[in-house]
């Protein structure tokens, strides 16, 4: 993928704004609906958000650190890496969500959750929007981040943003599908 760096950031910020709005709408639902599961081993809407919050606890500090430590200047064009483009694309929701395994530490199944989970998710989304704003001044390709599954694999910052934000979209779609089954 090749795109203007400014356009990539603008697109991602717009997606984050839509994500915040979707999460704000979830706050209008009763907690018993937000905790509803379609089956014993499927996630509720709140568990979907808690899963994202757990990833946010890794990625937000990682991205913050890498942006702060970056000594690169923004370049006009971002070219995605092969691995980063694959990861980001694999997170996008499809008509029928393909199940993916998650690490035990990231699996919120049977967690006791309330609407504070939604509040935390919204707070993290505001942080992500701010990080995208800061990223306007650095090179999205030469600034690299670790990923949650391995500190040895590094992705371009632009790909990391795409991966995390697409992951959020994926699980918000999942949460909305659960709520449609009530």
pLDDT, one tens digit per residue, over 61-79 is 999 999 999 999 999 999 9
- The whole-angstrom separation of Cα 83 and Cα 94 is 20
- The whole-angstrom separation of Cα 119 and Cα 138 is 30
- The whole-angstrom separation of Cα 37 and Cα 54 is 20
- The whole-angstrom separation of Cα 69 and Cα 121 is 26
Domain boundaries, the chain: 2-180
pLDDT for position 57:
98
Given a contact cutoff of 8 angstroms between Cβ atoms, the answer to whether 97 and 170 are in contact is yes
Q: Token pair of 17, please?
A: 């704004």
Kindly give the parts of the chain with pLDDT less than 70: 97-98
Q: Which CATH architecture has domain 2-180?
A: Up-down Bundle (1.20)
- The whole-angstrom separation of Cα 176 and Cα 26 is 9
pLDDT for position 98:
65
């Amino acid at each position: 993928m090749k795109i203007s760096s400014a356009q990539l950031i603008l697109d991602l910020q717009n997606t984050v704004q839509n994500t915040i709005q979707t999460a704000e709408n979830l706050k209008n639902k009763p907690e018993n609906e937000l905790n509803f599961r379609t089956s014993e081993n499927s996630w509720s809407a709140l568990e979907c958000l808690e899963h994202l919050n757990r990833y946010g606890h890794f990625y937000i500090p990682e991205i913050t650190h890498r942006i702060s430590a970056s000594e690169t200047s923004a370049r006009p064009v971002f070219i995605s890496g092969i691995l980063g483009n694959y990861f980001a694309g694999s997170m996008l929701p499809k008509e029928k969500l393909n199940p993916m395994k998650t690490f035990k530490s990231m699996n919120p199944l049977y967690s006791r959750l309330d609407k504070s989970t939604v509040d935390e998710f919204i707070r993290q989304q505001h942080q992500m929007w701010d990080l995208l704003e800061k990223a306007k001044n650095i090179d999205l390709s030469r600034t690299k981040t670790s990923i949650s599954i391995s500190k040895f694999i590094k992705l371009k910052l632009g790909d990391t943003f795409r991966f995390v934000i697409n992951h959020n979209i994926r699980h918000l779609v999942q949460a909305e599908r659960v709520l449609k089954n009530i």
